[in-house]
């Protein structure tokens, strides 16, 4: 029987562990908070992140990383992106030889501008063939209600990718494969930045034309960055590209979109941060995405104004005016 260890008892770690357990994978969750771990292990509930959701009785939970990792074929990582390096360094001594490490995260590391799979390879000292990524339009609030969803499993090793696909495939959760790790990861990380922009526009009451324009030109930004980093352009038309972009930018369940919406309504950054109880990855990753773009000489005007609004105090109305007053040019995708 395949065995999985999932690190992170937040909303996605818990939900993905539930998916694995329901697909017949023997799954243990690691969490740093003893109260949540106990509630998952004994009452089959995560009261803080998924109140009222019944978790499978076969799903175990522990605060001991070595216990979670014992015999694991897959090690799935669902902690906030900016904490991955420190956490994985601590867990490294107990990683089973030959285990496949899987990123469930959607961020770019500040300072290094590395994708999560790159951080994993570096810290765990494993080759890219032992690292996979799962990303797609996967809003937890829908998945835990049993509403159907699909995702993408990416890994350069085809057999690993297919094993992971089998480990998480359910009648209501459809996993596709794609060997383009760079494209799948970029799609997941950069859509959060675009969702912040759409959220701000929504909060300002700018209308659906603006939302559609930001999504479309946002996809062009993602594709330009992807081209510079060697991604397959087709990936961005798929679930991990357009699929996740549309889900995140249009759903009130998205933390990134909601964060932007609150800013657009006129709340201060401090007020919005205080109101955001869960991880909105785009808030930190917008800066690393922009730095990555600059390193590769890629123009990302929407990302630039998101950084200016979120981190430099630019008023949302000024950001909108900046985007609308850019030099007219031919429309090009990518
Ligand atoms: N929630 C979703 O709908 C969803 C879907 C797909 C992907 N993701 C991605 O999954 C990743 C995790 O997001 P989430 O939604 O589970 O976030 P979350 O905020 O719900 O949970 C984060 C978890 O990490 C823990 N944590 C926080 N700081 C930590 C630290 N320093 N060390 C160890 N643990 C720490 C928290 O206690 C919590 O258990 C993000 O990259 C996110 O983009 C989320
Ligand atoms: O709630 P968000 O904005 O982190 O988005 C969650 C998922 O990434 C959607 O696929």
Query: What is the residue-wise DSSP string for 251-284?
Result: -TT-HHHHHHHHHHTT--HHHHHHH--S--THHH
User: Is the C-beta atom of 191 inside 6 A of ligand 2?
Assistant: no
User: Is the C-beta atom of 262 inside 6 A of ligand 1?
Assistant: no
Q: For residue 251, which ligand has an atom nearest its CA?
A: 2
Residues in the chain: 334
Question: Which residue puts its alpha carbon closest to atom 6 of ligand 1?
Answer: 138
Is 182-324 in CATH node 1.10.1040.10? yes
The CATH number that domain 3-177 falls under is: 3.40.50.720
- Longest Cα pair distance anywhere in the chain, in angstroms? 60
Q: How far is the CA of 57 from the centre of ligand 2 (A)?
A: 26
Question: Which residue puts its alpha carbon closest to atom 18 of ligand 1?
Answer: 10
1/5 Cα distance (integer angstroms): 13
- What is the band of 182 on the pLDDT scale with cuts at 50, 70, 90? very high
Asked if residue 200 has pLDDT above 90, the reply is yes
- What is the band of 64 on the pLDDT scale with cuts at 50, 70, 90? very high
User: Is the C-beta atom of 199 inside 6 A of ligand 2?
Assistant: no
Q: What is the pLDDT of residue 332?
A: 78
- Copy the structure tokens of residue 171: 């009648």
Q: Is 43 exposed, middle or buried (0-12, 13-18, 19+ CB in 10 A)?
A: exposed
Start and end residues for every CATH 1.10.1040.10 domain found in the chain: 182-324
User: Is the C-beta atom of 134 inside 6 A of ligand 2?
Assistant: no
Q: Is 170 helix (H, G, I), strand (E, B) or coil?
A: strand
If one residue of 11, 46, 188 were mutated to test the ligand 1 pocket, choosing by the most ligand atoms within 8 A of its CB, it would be 11
254 assigned binding-site residue: yes
Q: How far is the CA of 166 from the centre of ligand 1 (A)?
A: 24
Whether residue 16 contacts residue 27, with contact meaning beta carbons closer than 8 Å, is answered with: no
Whether residue 229 contacts residue 113, with contact meaning beta carbons closer than 8 Å, is answered with: no
Whether residue 276 contacts residue 217, with contact meaning beta carbons closer than 8 Å, is answered with: no
ipTM surpasses 0.85 = yes
* For the CA of 244, the nearest atom of ligand 2: 10
Question: Which residue puts its alpha carbon closest to atom 5 of ligand 2?
Answer: 254
Q: Using one digit for the tens of pLDDT, what is the confidence trace for 245-281?
A: 999 999 999 999 999 999 999 999 999 999 999 999 9
11 assigned binding-site residue: yes
43 assigned binding-site residue: no
Asked if residue 333 has pLDDT above 80, the reply is no
Question: Which residue puts its alpha carbon closest to atom 44 of ligand 1?
Answer: 12
Start and end residues for every CATH 3.40.50.720 domain found in the chain: 3-177
Question: Which residue puts its alpha carbon closest to atom 31 of ligand 1?
Answer: 83
Q: Using one digit for the tens of pLDDT, what is the confidence trace for 67-99?
A: 999 999 999 999 999 999 999 999 999 999 999
Average pLDDT over residues 143-163: 98
User: Is the C-beta atom of 8 inside 6 A of ligand 1?
Assistant: yes
User: Is the C-beta atom of 195 inside 6 A of ligand 2?
Assistant: yes
Average pLDDT over residues 98-116: 98
332 assigned binding-site residue: no
Long-range contacts of residues 65-68, Cβ cutoff 8 Å, at least 24 apart: 65/7, 65/30, 65/90, 65/91, 65/94, 66/94, 67/28, 68/5, 68/6, 68/7, 68/28, 68/29, 68/30
User: Is the C-beta atom of 241 inside 6 A of ligand 2?
Assistant: no
Q: How many other β-carbons are positioned within 10 Å of the β-carbon of residue 19?
A: 26
Whether residue 7 contacts residue 94, with contact meaning beta carbons closer than 8 Å, is answered with: no
Q: For residue 246, which ligand has an atom nearest its CA?
A: 2
- What is the band of 101 on the pLDDT scale with cuts at 50, 70, 90? very high
Asked if residue 117 has pLDDT above 90, the reply is yes
Q: What is the pLDDT of residue 334?
A: 58
Q: How many other β-carbons are positioned within 10 Å of the β-carbon of residue 52?
A: 8
Active site residues: 191
User: Is the C-beta atom of 79 inside 6 A of ligand 1?
Assistant: yes
Q: How far is the CA of 83 from the centre of ligand 1 (A)?
A: 10
What stretch of H or E contains 175?
strand 173-177
Average pLDDT over residues 109-117: 98
Long-range contacts of residues 165-169, Cβ cutoff 8 Å, at least 24 apart: 166/2, 166/23, 167/2, 167/4, 167/20, 167/23, 167/25, 167/74, 168/16, 168/19, 168/20, 168/23, 168/25, 168/134, 169/23
- Cα dihedral value 302, 305, 309, 311, nearest 10: 100
Q: How far is the CA of 221 from the centre of ligand 1 (A)?
A: 25
Q: How many other β-carbons are positioned within 10 Å of the β-carbon of residue 241?
A: 30
What stretch of H or E contains 74?
strand 74-77
């Amino acid at each position: 029987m395949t065995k999985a260890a999932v690190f992170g008892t937040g909303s996605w770690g818990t939900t993905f562990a539930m998916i694995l357990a329901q697909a017949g994978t023997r799954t243990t969750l690691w969490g740093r908070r003893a109260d949540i771990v106990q509630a998952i292990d004994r009452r089959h509930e995560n009261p803080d992140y998924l109140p009222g959701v019944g978790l499978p009785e076969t799903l175990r939970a522990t605060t001991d990383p070595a216990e979670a990792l014992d015999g694991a074929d897959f090690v799935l990582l669902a902690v906030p992106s900016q904490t991955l390096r420190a956490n994985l360094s601590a867990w490294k001594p107990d990683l089973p030889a030959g285990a496949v490490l899987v990123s469930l995260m959607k961020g770019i590391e500040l300072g290094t501008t590395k994708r999560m799979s790159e951080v994993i390879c570096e810290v765990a000292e494993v080759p890219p063939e032992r690292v996979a990524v799962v990303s797609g339009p996967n809003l937890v609030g829908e998945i835990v209600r049993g509403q159907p969803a699909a995702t993408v499993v990416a890994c350069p090793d085809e057999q690993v990718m297919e094993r992971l696909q089998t480990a998480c495939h359910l009648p209501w959760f459809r996993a596709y494969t794609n060997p383009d790790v760079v494209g799948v990861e970029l799609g997941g990380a950069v859509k959060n930045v675009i969702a912040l922009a759409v959220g701000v526009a929504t909060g300002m009451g700018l209308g659906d034309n603006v939302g559609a324009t930001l999504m479309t030109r946002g996809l062009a930004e993602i594709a330009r960055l992807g081209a510079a980093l060697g991604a397959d352009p087709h990936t961005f038309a798929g679930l991990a590209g357009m699929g996740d972009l549309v889900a995140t930018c249009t759903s009130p369940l998205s933390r990134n979109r909601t964060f932007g919406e609150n800013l657009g309504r006129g709340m201060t950054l401090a007020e919005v941060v205080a109101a955001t109880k869960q991880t909105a990855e785009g808030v930190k990753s917008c800066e690393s995405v922009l730095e990555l773009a600059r390193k590769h000489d890629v123009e990302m005007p929407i990302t630039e104004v998101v950084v200016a609004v979120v981190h430099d105090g630019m008023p949302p109305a000024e950001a909108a005016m900046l985007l609308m007053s850019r030099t007219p040019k031919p429309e090009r995708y990518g």
